[in-house]
Amino acid sequence: MNCSENYVAVNGVNLCWFEWGNESTDEGTILLVHATGFHARCWDQIVKHLPGKHVIAIDVRGHGRSDKTPPFNWQAFGTDLVEFLIKLDLNNVVGVGHSMGGHVVSQAAANDASRFSRLLLIDPVIVSPEAYVQHQEGPPAWFNDASEHPVARRKNFYADADAMFDNLHGRSSYAVWRDDALRDYCEYGLSDNPEGDGYVLSCPPPIEASIYMQASGTNISDQIRHVDIPVRVLRAKPRDPDSMEMDFTTSPTWPELASKFKLGTDVFLPELTHFMPMQDPALIAHHILHETMEV
């Protein structure tokens, strides 16, 4: 499926978004919102399983081809998405968000659920109320500053997308990714190096690190209780609460999250990791297409 690249000014920032298919009043739109450090084209392998559907994938500010204009916080991302929906006048939307994107989509639905038909939250970074309280009482457990976060030291320069793919393939969290998904991440995740030859990451490591540092800083527990559309939460294998290691493959999602939505359904997928869209695109597409199914 071919897609078009588009831009729209939202809250003083130019956001990039990609569109597949044509809008249909009957079927509506599938809206895809990526995870921290990713970009809109990370959904390409899933879109392949959505033939004939109207699909929009957005680059959140600070990511992909959207402006690198602060603030880079979770509330700003949610506010941007709300304005994006208004600017494009999108209705009858299936809101799909992975990780941070699940939090952002939930914010938008809490602001105006009438624009959505349902939500699919893929291992969203929405934690327990207690975790939000702990975040407010002090800095994150591992780091006092974003510069200390391992992501801030991520390799930022590559000769080309092939070099990025070779560097990441089979390493750490990327070991569970399908090759085609990793290719998409590399192919569309680089920008021209402003200092000369080669390319740099489209989401600069300092920005990505600062976003991770705020993962438990925007509590939407009260807002989501008023969302009155069907919401399906996909959860990956859980984290070990006693572990002090940073394991990005495990789930950050509060296990009770689905029950806090009026029409929430929990789908536990312990055989998959936090990167389930990159592991099983066909399964994710199946959940996007089917509001009800046996699990």
Identify the CATH number of the domain in which residue 130 sits: 3.40.50.1820
Q: Model confidence over 49-94: pLDDT tens digits?
A: 999 999 999 999 999 999 999 999 999 999 999 999 999 999 999 9
- Mean pLDDT of the chain, nearest integer: 90
Q: Residue 173, class by beta-carbon neighbours within 10 Å (0-12 exposed, 13-18 middle, 19+ buried)? A: middle
Once rounded to an integer, what is the mean pLDDT over residues 175-198? 96
Once rounded to an integer, what is the mean pLDDT over residues 202-218? 84
Question: Which pLDDT score is estimated for 244?
Answer: 56
Predicted confidence (pLDDT) at residue 215 exceeds the cutoff of 80: no
**Containing structural domain, residue 256:** 3-138+218-289
Closest CA to 57 of 41, 70, 45: 41
Of 147 and 1, more confident: 1
Question: Which pLDDT score is estimated for 33?
Answer: 98
Residue 212 lies in a domain: no
Predicted confidence (pLDDT) at residue 242 exceeds the cutoff of 70: no
Confidence of residue 6 (pLDDT cuts 50, 70, 90): very high
Predicted confidence (pLDDT) at residue 199 exceeds the cutoff of 70: yes
Predicted confidence (pLDDT) at residue 24 exceeds the cutoff of 80: no
Question: Which pLDDT score is estimated for 295?
Answer: 36
Residue 189 lies in a domain: no
Residue 167 lies in a domain: no
Predicted confidence (pLDDT) at residue 237 exceeds the cutoff of 50: yes
For the chain, what is the domain count?
1
Residue 269 lies in a domain: yes
Question: Which pLDDT score is estimated for 292?
Answer: 44
Residue 98 lies in a domain: yes
How far apart are alpha carbons 62 and 91 in whole angstroms?
Answer: 26
Residue 157 lies in a domain: no
Task: Report the share of the chain in percent with pLDDT over 90.
Answer: 78
Confidence of residue 19 (pLDDT cuts 50, 70, 90): very high
Question: Which pLDDT score is estimated for 130?
Answer: 84
Q: Model confidence over 97-150: pLDDT tens digits?
A: 999 999 999 999 999 999 999 999 999 999 988 877 765 545 454 445 555 566
Highest mean pLDDT among 20-34, 209-223, 238-252: 20-34
Confidence of residue 294 (pLDDT cuts 50, 70, 90): very low
Residues 6 or more apart from 287 whose CB is under 8 A from it? 120, 232, 234, 267, 293
Residue 166 lies in a domain: no
Question: Which pLDDT score is estimated for 110?
Answer: 97
Q: Model confidence over 260-277: pLDDT tens digits?
A: 999 999 999 999 999 999
Question: Which pLDDT score is estimated for 142?
Answer: 46
Confidence of residue 213 (pLDDT cuts 50, 70, 90): confident
Question: Which pLDDT score is estimated for 73?
Answer: 92
Once rounded to an integer, what is the mean pLDDT over residues 192-212? 93
Residue 175 lies in a domain: no
